[in-house]
Structure 1
Amino acid sequence: MASDPIPVVFVHGLWMHASSWQPWTELFASRGYIPIAPGWPGDGETAEATRENPDKLNGVGLAEVARHYRTVVEALPTLPILVGHSFGGLIAQKLLGDGLARGAVAIAPAQFKGVLRLPLDQVRSVMPILRNPLLRNKTWTHTPESYHHTFANAISREESDRIFDAHTIPAPARPLFQAALANVAVGSPAKIDTRTARGPLLLVAGGADRMTPESIVASQYNIQRRNTGATEYSVLPDRGHSLAADDGWREVADLTLDFLERHDLGAEKG
């Protein structure tokens, strides 16, 4: 009897609409998985619709996002694989640690509680938001210039503008404040369980990333590798934070598929 196909839930991060996962979902479907890419609570069906109603994302924080994706996962017929980018990578690790996935891939994941590094590039990238506490429960939107400088710095301005026009959306600022204060906040929603036995985890870093610098991802790996579950770490030296959505996305996707296959999470293993 054939096994049920494995669902793969794609979790986007700040400033990117779920539509940015379309090349990934098409590739994973062709490999026999069942891919789904739900938006965050408050996202519209399209990037344009989200831009038109940014207030729906006001006050959305990590707890609300984690709860939203928990509901998505629990409605599936079988445990999924999670693939998350940026804050989506943090959420993927959180749900994996809670036993809600059979494996996960975190691409340039935002730091969780316990990561102490604070690289200057990251400080410069998020300071326009964090220095304004009035934004805590509001949304913040990149300009094409700021997007290219901090998010898509490793690609051409032309390609950056193309991604910006197609997929960027206003993002709630609250997750950034929560991550910034995670190590001093009791009960921080950025805390994840890194000790309970879990499935395989791959962390991917971009060597030119300014939003989540390589050292941040390496610190997460150094914590996660203490787990009994398989933990792997890969660095793509010349890639920035847009690595999952720019023209080099296939390199990251193939890395992901290879990891899943090697850990018996290939589609035919369901």
Structure 2
Amino acid sequence: MSSTRRRSSSATPPGGAFTQILLDHGYGAAGVAINSAPTEGVLKAPFSQLRSTFPVLKNPLNAHRAVGFTHEQFQYSFTNGVDEEISRKAYERYAIAANGGILFGSVTANLKPGHQDTWVDYHNDDRAPLLFISGSDDHIMPPSVQQSNLKHYKSKETVTEITEFEGPHFMVGLDGWEQIADKALEWALANAKAPAGAVTA
């Protein structure tokens, strides 16, 4: 691996950013990033995103420990607009304290010299096709962040697209998730670099 592609290993990037990194390194026939965290160079930071991440970013010590959300914080960040009972059930089932360093690494990626954990080559002509799926009401990774991430990709030799579904960040855990899954699979099979038969569902 060349020095221009070397990155630190302080924490694994969030899922959508990790998908972009894997594609940039030549892995996969196609990638779908749902409500993705931004990669290095994306400076868009709407108010709802700042408010969503404040419980973690308010204390620098959180960069080195696990941080949990209250239900109210979880509801604003992940299940906004969802019925209170459904939101609370999701919180009780899925919410756990997570590594604050992941978020700090993402936020500070544009402030440090050299390439950080979330760097990708936006001009990579050999990257497999990439689809961003965005939640219309997502507070923590709003549509404007997805659009900004998309616009950074400059290669005309590969496919980079975006589509939007109605819902918050947690939309894949709510009724109607099958439509999102079907879209992701349909798009991946239609755009994969490898023959469709080589991609198994």
Change (3 A) 1:207 1:224: same
Cα distance, 1:261 vs structure 2: 2.5
Question: Which secondary structure does the structure 1 equivalent of 2:72 belong to?
Answer: helix
Find the aligned partners of 2:28 and 2:83 in 1 and give their Cα distance: 36
Partner of 1:65: 12
Partner of 1:159: 86
Find the aligned partners of 2:26 and 2:112 in 1 and give their Cα distance: 24
Asked if the contact 1:98/1:193 (under 8 Å) is kept, the reply is no
Partner of 1:203: 132
Residue identity in the other structure for 2:189: E
1:219 partnered with 2:144: no
Change (3 A) 1:105 1:229: same
Partner of 1:243: 171
1:144 partnered with 2:71: yes
Residue identity in the other structure for 1:115: V
Find the aligned partners of 1:143 and 1:159 in 2 and give their Cα distance: 15
Residue identity in the other structure for 2:182: D
1:116 partnered with 2:63: no
Cα distance, 1:62 vs structure 2: 6.3
Partner of 1:183: 110
Cα distance, 1:266 vs structure 2: 7.7
Partner of 1:169: 96
Question: Which secondary structure does the structure 2 equivalent of 1:220 belong to?
Answer: helix
Find the aligned partners of 1:88 and 1:222 in 2 and give their Cα distance: 19
Find the aligned partners of 1:225 and 1:209 in 2 and give their Cα distance: 25
The C-alpha deviation readout for 1:157-208, integer Å capped at 9, x for no partner, is: 2111222222222110111111111111123112122222111110011111
Q: 1:127 aligns with which of 33, 44, 54?
A: 54
Find the aligned partners of 2:136 and 2:19 in 1 and give their Cα distance: 21
Structure 1, unpaired ranges of 5+: 1-60, 67-86
Cα distance, 1:142 vs structure 2: 1.5
Number of residue pairs matched? Answer: 189
Find the aligned partners of 1:64 and 1:211 in 2 and give their Cα distance: 19
Asked if the contact 2:109/2:118 (under 8 Å) is kept, the reply is yes
Asked if the contact 2:10/2:101 (under 8 Å) is kept, the reply is no
Asked if the contact 2:12/2:102 (under 8 Å) is kept, the reply is no
Change (3 A) 1:64 1:175: closer
Find the aligned partners of 1:210 and 1:162 in 2 and give their Cα distance: 19
RMSD: 2.0
Partner of 2:5: none
1:92 partnered with 2:33: no
Question: Which secondary structure does the structure 2 equivalent of 1:116 belong to?
Answer: coil
Cα distance, 1:250 vs structure 2: 1.1
Residue identity in the other structure for 1:191: W
Q: TM-score, normalised by structure 2?
A: 0.86
Asked if the contact 1:163/1:246 (under 8 Å) is kept, the reply is no
Partner of 2:34: 107
